[in-house]
Structure 1
Amino acid sequence: MKNREDWKETVKKGQNKMGTWRVSCLSVEELLCLQLLGYSSKQLYEDREGERYSLKETASMSIRELDKAKRILDRQAKAGVVTIPYYSEAYPHHFRHLEDAPPLVHVLGNKDLPNREDNVAIIGARAADKDGLDMAYGLAKQMGEQGHIVISGLALGCDTAAHRGCLDVGGQTIAVVASGLDITHPKVNKSLQDEIIAKGGTILSEHPFGVKANPTRLVARCRMQVVLTQSVIVAQCPIISGTMYAVRFAQTYNDDLFGWEHDVYAVRYDTQNELNSGNKFLLDYNLALPVRPGQEIILDNYNRLFVCP
């Protein structure tokens, strides 16, 4: 009986400690307020209780920014956007070990989809030719037909083709974007964004309403794309391309202390040109595994991509 009472007391102490920790956590409004003030992710993840309370005090004293944060969050909620803080159970677990993980993620559509494991990122350049677009579409179509999730970035070219290939067979897809969710970048993809949401997919951003995409944010977006998956396919890209940033992130995070494992694949084209020079570079230097037009791809029992002979 004494052991049982000791166990109950231990559980109670643990619950009290967790309760105290949650109270000390910055609220969604406070986190956004501090982001508006220019605080970095590292500063907002400070674990020392005294520092957290100091940040809470800073937020409470920043009346203008706190009021702005509340207005933004209210607008987002009315538009159907769910804002998830890093300490929530709903926060995408793939992001948790990122050194610069976003303290808040903003989600339009299916908030559970980013926690799925059976997914593949299919990415590529905006200025793709018909071969590149056909490959992005066809590979995404295969994943959609198998009931898996396709991740891409809602950009023109290969990203659009990948989302479309998945949607056309009734699949679900995640678009990771570099702007607030009140802005569609590019504007021409507004109907595609609406269709992704209508068909059970997700639009995900680390930025609140009002933030526009720029080159820096587009590059940062790449890190979030690759950590959501174990497999990245480059459909087509030049050797100097934004797609290469995603490949670099996948290589950086591969086999790190947190156990991420990324396989990078690139489509091998019979005819070489500037538009697929990035694919050739990745394959020639053994930085990616080849996928040929017409090959079947599947995810194995460990959600790793397998290319059928």
Structure 2
Amino acid sequence: MTDLLANRLIDLLALQQAGLARRELLQLFDPTTTEPELPLDLPPLLHAYEAELRSGHAAACTLLERCDELGISLHPIFAPSYPQRLRRLGAGRPLVLYSRGNSQLLESPSALCIVGTRQPDAAGAARAYQLGYDAARSGAVVISGLARGCDAEAHRGALSAGGATLAVVATGLDVTYPEEHAELSEQLLVHGGLILSEYPLGVGVARERFVHRDRLLAALAEEVQVAQCGLDSGTLHTVRVARRLHIPVSASSYTPYTEQSRGNEYLLEAGLARPLD
């Protein structure tokens, strides 16, 4: 990252730490929504926030130092490393992304999102694993959420096939959730994978963050594959985002359908997803 980009990153983090509203931050830092300033020899718009920049500067520098210690890379919205696929979220894309691992996966030419319920039955768990395995064998990067159940099985399937897998999490990267996935997280990184978050260090678990995370799962992928989900599963949040962004959705079929797979039945019968099998 050049000195200019590094300084802009510190300014962005400082204003976040100072509590500036997201809308204002987008106006200041998002190159696709910011109108060019007129050549009137006026001071840059950022100068209007000198007090906030001063108040948040120390916390921003501390955050950067801590990220450096933990091997965490930052991808601000104005940097070349920011993933192009997220730009289709428009104003809903994160201002900063935090990552551990192989950041090149963010621009992989082939990426499949495999998601499903946290409580699959045996058939659903096996299906998630097989989807991850098959996707990795085909050369695709497997994207999932590192959650219990189908997400974890998709990651494991990809690793078993010798592939790379990208986990999008809903906490800071210094927090492992669920805790029992610490070993899976490390295996993912050891084998050339990536763990990604829009949240800074220290941010813990909150229900709404998982819903927000779902938009990133969909937007980073070329296709969303539903291994197994019920009618009240959070997986359907990811499907809704994918359909809104015109990203293809597919779903596994089951014979017979159970409570854990009623969401798949709904998606297929309503024509909202194509059948995987």
TM value normalised by structure 1: 0.80
Counterpart AA for 2:58? D
Are residues 1:236 and 2:241 paired?
no
Determine the structure 1 residue equivalent to 2:143.
151
Determine the structure 2 residue equivalent to 1:304.
none
Are residues 1:287 and 2:272 paired?
yes
Q: 1:76 aligns with which of 67, 78, 91?
A: 67
Determine the structure 2 residue equivalent to 1:11.
none
1:62 shift after superposition: 4.5
1:111 shift after superposition: 0.9
Structure 1 window deviating more from structure 2 (38-47 vs 144-153): it is 38-47
Are residues 1:45 and 2:36 paired?
no
Name the CA distance, whole Å, in 2 between partners of 1:37 and 1:187: 31
How many residue pairs match? The answer is 265
Are residues 1:265 and 2:257 paired?
no
Deviations 1:168-215 (A, max 9, x none): 121000001111100011111111111111110000111110111311
Q: Give structure 1 stretches of 5+ with no counterpart.
A: 1-21, 255-261, 293-309
Where 2:103 maps in the other structure, the secondary structure is: coil
Determine the structure 2 residue equivalent to 1:210.
202
Determine the structure 1 residue equivalent to 2:79.
88
Name the CA distance, whole Å, in 1 between partners of 2:7 and 2:25: 8
Deviations 1:125-145 (A, max 9, x none): 101111111000001101112
Q: 2:121 aligns with which of 104, 123, 129?
A: 129
Once the two structures are aligned, what percentage of the paired residues are identical?
35
Are residues 1:111 and 2:103 paired?
yes
Where 1:72 maps in the other structure, the secondary structure is: helix
TM value normalised by structure 2: 0.89
CA RMSD of aligned residues (A): 2.2
Where 2:131 maps in the other structure, the secondary structure is: helix
Q: Give structure 2 stretches of 5+ with no counterpart.
A: 28-33
1:61 shift after superposition: 4.0
Name the CA distance, whole Å, in 2 between partners of 1:124 and 1:52: 50
1:60 shift after superposition: 5.3
**Highest RCO, 1 vs 2 (Cα 8 Å, sep ≥ 6):** 2
Bigger Rg, structure 1 or 2: 1
Determine the structure 2 residue equivalent to 1:7.
none
Counterpart AA for 1:27? R
Determine the structure 1 residue equivalent to 2:88.
97
Name the CA distance, whole Å, in 2 between partners of 1:175 and 1:56: 38
Where 1:151 maps in the other structure, the secondary structure is: strand
Where 1:272 maps in the other structure, the secondary structure is: coil
Deviations 1:40-76 (A, max 9, x none): 4432221254999444552554444221121111101
Determine the structure 2 residue equivalent to 1:275.
260
Name the CA distance, whole Å, in 2 between partners of 1:122 and 1:52: 48
Where 2:275 maps in the other structure, the secondary structure is: strand
Name the CA distance, whole Å, in 2 between partners of 1:110 and 1:282: 33
Name the CA distance, whole Å, in 1 between partners of 2:269 and 2:25: 42
Name the CA distance, whole Å, in 2 between partners of 1:52 and 1:222: 39
